Amino acid sequence: MRNPFVRYLIQKISWYILAFFVAVSLNFILPRLIPGNPVSVIVNQMATGGVQSDVLERLYSTYMKEFGLDKPLYIQYFNYLRNIFRWNLGTSFMLYPGKVKDLIGRALPWTISLQVPAILSGWIIGNLLGAFSAYKGGKFDSVAFTLSLVFSNIPYYCLAIVFLYLLAVRFGLFPVGGGYSFGIVPTLSLKFIADAIYHYILPYLSMVLVAIGGQAIGMREMSLYELTSDYVNYAKNLGVRDERIIRYVFRNAMLPQITGLAISFGTMMGGALVTESVFSYPGVGSLLFTAIRQSDYPLIQGCTLIITIAVLTANFLVEIAYGFIDPRIRAVQLGER
Amino acid sequence: MGNLLTAVNLRAYYRTVQGEEIKAVDDVSLEVREGEVLGIAGESGCGKSTLASVLAFTVTPPLYVVGGEVKANGTNILTLDRETLRREIKGKYISIVPQGAMNSLNPTARIKNFVIDVLKEHFPEMSKEEAIQRAKERFSALSLPPRILDAYPHQLSGGMKQRTVTVISTLLNPKVLIADEPTSALDVSSQKIVIKLLVELLRMQIIKSIVFITHELPLLRHFADRIAVMYAGRIVEVGPMENIIFEPLHPYSKLLMSSVLVPEPGMKSKRIEAIPGVPPNLKNPPSGCRFHPRCPSYAKEFCDTSIPPFVKVGPDHMVSCFLYGGKDE
């Protein structure tokens, strides 16, 4: 007999492969809808020195050939797909001859080390705060809830700009931007780490406060709902103490929050775009932002491919994890109903 | 045989945000005797569930007990602090089979984990294995399959869930079991099984008495010893089951009985009557006898001004109606 869980996994994975294919196709099409020819831009930049027009002509066709843009769209598309499977992300237009793989590889650690701690700590603190204020009620709840509402509703880039203006520009407490100071070589020295942390605080704060607020509101609502549920009352009526009941509530209220965590991880690179731009942080977000402005197709495709993989992986892991946490969903996964 | 629970002049009101009071239980006196099944009947909104939660100490705002006492073993339990109540009374002396038993079990925990929590809460020295063993024995003794313990709530049918909850409620051998409409969400055959289970628990002396709250009077006919009829926050008649079912005296009890179908000989020729009017708003209950605006036998001019006292009309049978005296004339 075949294991129903394996069957479930196979079914899920096929759906994810289909979703990946659709997303990757969109990644190909969308950058090409940006008006303007990227090669003309590059050639025009070279033309500022007063180069002869036939030289420009030749430059143009060389680049078109080099980037494969002279071929019909469907050929480009199949080349693109083939290259993805070979994990060949191509060459950047704007940073020619920089490989997209290397550019992203250099930016990715910055984004991950900025986002993962912000998302995780925001999620943990937010959930604890939300659960506690639902349980506690009263003054604590009103203050925590109001603050959470304020922070979660400020667009995070606004908060970033306000922080940047007040704390960095106005009072000069923090650096205005960048991942580290000019003139410091990125090595694993103590000096570099201290400098990186100093640059890290503002972008981190601007994201973590928003994350705490959002998570706290969600968790508070879920906890309030669970706290008034029948099983809580029943457990109380049988003399089960509050501390134990809180554990039931916390676990059950947590379920939707785990989805929230996965979505945060999935959209981490995309979400980094604005924060990284505001603080000129050398991560994937900044890279994508400049790539879009320059119509740098391979670089845009590379970044969006990373985002696609991140979103799909996060969602897939959550779907599987859900089954382990909630027996009702496990029953569905195992085909019990 | 003594009283396990005695309520004296109990008043419990809901307080709304606007500062209004809803007098859901108003001056109720009642005793729960050892070995009996006491039925409490009445229409929706008459305060029977509120009375149940006061008797079971599950009062939470906006419900407040504003007067009276509930005595068990001579002490007024309403004055006990929260922690003592939790440790000594809840689940142990008084237990409850809740109205919404369908959702009364934590959906993400196996039944046995909840059982372990309940048992260990009251017997901290008990090991998990002992707790499960004890639950298994109890389940088998009441002819429920012990494998239920390994299940999650969603794997049980409605009737099975209700029986499981009933068994868990009585794991600690409580003296009084308060069952608040435990059968209202079940089909007729499941109802019968649950009631059999309750009677079995009483027969096996696992529990000493049952307070069964329902709006279905005929249900009580099969197993209640006494019945109290509630109307608009008050008890209007209390007496042995046979008297209340077959010869009710209070005009409301009479109407309540004639408004239900009982498959008895001769029932076919009877007319089914509805009670005219609507249940009163308990924010401003009617003055005097609360039933007087809907009462077909409302005769005496003082029905709307004075509250009829309880009159003894038979052995153990009391009724609060001027038709049976109570006003010196």
Domain ranges of chain A: 4-85, 100-333
A243 close to B (CB below 8 A): no
pLDDT at A22: 93
Neighbours of A50 (CB within 10 A): 5
Q: Determine whether the interchain pair A328/B90 forms a contact, defined as Cβ–Cβ distance below 8 Å.
A: no
The A residues from 198 to 237 touching B (CB cutoff 8 Å) are 229-231, 233-237
Q: How far is A145 from chain B (nearest CA, A)?
A: 21
Q: Determine whether the interchain pair B56/A244 forms a contact, defined as Cβ–Cβ distance below 8 Å.
A: no
Q: Which domain holds residue B51?
A: 3-101+174-273
Burial B132-141 (b: 16+ CB within 10 A, else e): bebbbebbee
Q: pLDDT tens-digit profile of A289-311?
A: 888 888 888 888 888 888 888 88
Q: pLDDT tens-digit profile of A316-327?
A: 888 888 887 777
Query: For residue B222, is pLDDT > 90?
Result: no
- For the CA atoms of B283, B284, B290, B291, the dihedral, rounded to the nearest 10 degrees, stands at -90
A327 close to B (CB below 8 A): yes
Amino acid at B185: A
Q: What is the mean pLDDT of residues B228-257?
A: 87
Q: What is the mean pLDDT of residues B185-194?
A: 82
Q: How far is B204 from chain A (nearest CA, A)?
A: 21
A251 close to B (CB below 8 A): yes
Q: How far is A188 from chain B (nearest CA, A)?
A: 46
Strand partners, B178: B96, B211
If you count residue pairs, one on A and one on B, with CB atoms under 8 Å apart, how many are there?
80
Residues of B in contact with A244 (CB under 8 A): 117, 121
pLDDT at B267: 60
Higher pLDDT, A193 or B155: B155
Q: What is the mean pLDDT of residues A45-54?
A: 69
Please report, for the domain that includes residue B17, its CATH number: 3.40.50.300
Domains contained in chain B, number: 1
Does the CA dihedral A173-A178-A183-A188 come out positive or negative?
positive
Task: Give the sheet arrangement for strand B63-72, strand by strand.
Answer: B21-33, B3-15, B63-72, B75-76
Q: What are phi and psi of A15, to 5 degrees?
A: -60, -40
Q: pLDDT tens-digit profile of B25-42?
A: 888 888 888 889 999 988
Neighbours of A191 (CB within 10 A): 12
pLDDT at A19: 93
Contact by Cβ (8 Å): B273, B260: no
Higher pLDDT, A268 or A48: A268
For residue A238, what is the nearest residue in chain B, using CA coordinates?
B91
Q: How far is B121 from chain A (nearest CA, A)?
A: 6
In the predicted model, what is the mean pLDDT of chain B?
A: 83
**Chain B interface disruption, residue of A226, A227, A228, A231, most B CBs within 10 A:** A231
Lowest model confidence (mean pLDDT) among A110-119, A281-290, B294-303: B294-303
A125 pLDDT band, cuts 50/70/90, is very high
Does the CA dihedral A41-A47-A53-A57 come out positive or negative?
negative
Residues of A in contact with B63 (CB under 8 A): none
B87 close to A (CB below 8 A): yes
Does the CA dihedral A181-A184-A187-A190 come out positive or negative?
negative
Higher pLDDT, B186 or B8: B8
Residues of B in contact with A239 (CB under 8 A): 86-87, 89-92, 118, 121-122
Host H or E run for residue B14: strand B3-15
**Chain B interface disruption, residue of A234, A242, A244, A254, most B CBs within 10 A:** A234
Cβ-nearest to A238 among B90, B100, B154? B90
B98 close to A (CB below 8 A): yes
CATH dotted code for A100-333: 1.10.3720.10
Chain mean position to CA A30: 19
Amino acid at A145: F
In the predicted model, what is the mean pLDDT of chain A?
A: 82
The answer to whether residue B297 is domain-embedded is no
Amino acid at A19: A
Query: For residue B328, is pLDDT > 60?
Result: no
User: Coil, strand or helix: which one is A84?
Assistant: helix
The percentage of residues in chain A with a pLDDT greater than 70, rounded to a whole number, is 95
**Chain A interface disruption, residue of B77, B84, B108, B167, most A CBs within 10 A:** B108
DSSP-derived secondary structure letter, B186: S
Amino acid at A211: A
B53 pLDDT band, cuts 50/70/90, is confident
pLDDT at A1: 47
pLDDT at B79: 80
Q: What is the mean pLDDT of residues B288-307?
A: 79
Q: How far is B29 from chain A (nearest CA, A)?
A: 23
For residue A326, what is the nearest residue in chain B, using CA coordinates?
B108
Query: For residue A102, is pLDDT > 70?
Result: yes
Residues of B in contact with A240 (CB under 8 A): 117-118, 121
Number of alpha helices (DSSP H) and beta strands (DSSP E) in chain A = 14, 0
Host H or E run for residue A122: helix A100-136
pLDDT at B323: 83
Q: pLDDT tens-digit profile of B82-139?
A: 888 787 788 888 898 887 677 888 888 888 888 898 888 888 888 888 888 888 888 8
The answer to whether residue B24 is domain-embedded is yes
The B residues from 17 to 56 touching A (CB cutoff 8 Å) are 56
Lowest model confidence (mean pLDDT) among A266-270, A309-313, B7-11: A266-270
Query: For residue A271, is pLDDT > 60?
Result: yes
User: Which tokens is A297 given?
Assistant: 């197709």
For residue B104, what is the nearest residue in chain A, using CA coordinates?
A231
Query: For residue B329, is pLDDT > 50?
Result: no
Q: pLDDT tens-digit profile of A19-31?
A: 999 999 998 888 8
**Chain A interface disruption, residue of B104, B116, B168, most A CBs within 10 A:** B104
B265 pLDDT band, cuts 50/70/90, is low
Higher pLDDT, B180 or A67: B180
Q: Determine whether the interchain pair B117/A325 forms a contact, defined as Cβ–Cβ distance below 8 Å.
A: no
Lowest model confidence (mean pLDDT) among A106-110, A282-286, B262-266: B262-266
Cβ-nearest to A239 among B100, B101, B121? B121
